């Protein structure tokens, strides 16, 4: 559905562009992925998230290491059946705990990431709108298959976000 919509929108824009003199139409492009990766507020948000979730990530690593340790013990322990069964039960328990904590970790991280990057997106959009008004852009695109580098205003937006 989206590709059909974008193709229709592109055809409409091209038709409009054909009817308007090229000098009168000012178009810009923003690489949102690059903004989320390189903008100072995005970098700060990413570091904040890494710090916030570091303890939980270490706990997941500890559980994974314990699981591997138990797997190795079970593989080596072929003689004592009761000890092996206890290790298998512990391994199953560790795996369940690891899966549950991993799922919770991912859910919480995604929610926090969305919260943090919503602020970055809001600020970037405000800067883009101000730039569009100040420099009299007719159209600024965020997603495109190909864009000429001369239309890419991402570096200027990144510079504004640094302020």
Q: Which helix (H) or strand (E) holds 141?
A: strand 139-141
**For residues 45 and 112, what is the distance between their CA atoms, to the nearest angstrom?**
10
Task: Name the helix (H) or strand (E) containing 139.
Answer: strand 139-141
Is residue 125 within 8 A of residue 41, CB to CB? The reply is no
Predicted TM-score (pTM) of this structure: 0.68
pLDDT in tens, 95-114: 999 999 999 999 999 999 99
Q: Tokens 């593989």 correspond to what residue? A: 75
- Give the chain's domains with CATH numbers: 21-162 (3.30.910.20)
Residue 15 or 75, more confident: 75
pLDDT for 9 equals 55
**If residue 163 lies in a helix (H) or strand (E), which one and from where to where?**
none
């Amino acid at each position: 559905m989206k590709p059909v919509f974008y193709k229709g929108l592109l055809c409409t824009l091209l038709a409009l562009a054909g009817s308007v003199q090229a000098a009168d139409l000012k178009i810009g492009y923003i690489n949102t992925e690059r903004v989320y990766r390189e903008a100072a507020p995005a970098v700060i948000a990413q570091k904040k998230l890494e710090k916030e979730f570091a303890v939980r990530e270490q706990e997941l690593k500890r559980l994974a290491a314990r699981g591997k340790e138990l797997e190795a013990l079970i593989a080596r322990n072929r003689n004592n059946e009761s000890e092996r069964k206890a290790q298998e039960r512990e391994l199953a328990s560790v795996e369940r705990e690891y899966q549950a904590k991993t799922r919770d970790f991912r859910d919480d991280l995604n929610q926090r990431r969305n919260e943090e990057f919503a602020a970055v997106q809001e600020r970037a959009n405000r800067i883009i709108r101000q730039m569009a008004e100040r420099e009299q852009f007719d159209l600024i695109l965020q997603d495109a298959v190909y864009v000429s580098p001369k239309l890419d205003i991402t570096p200027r937006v990144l510079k504004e976000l640094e302020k």
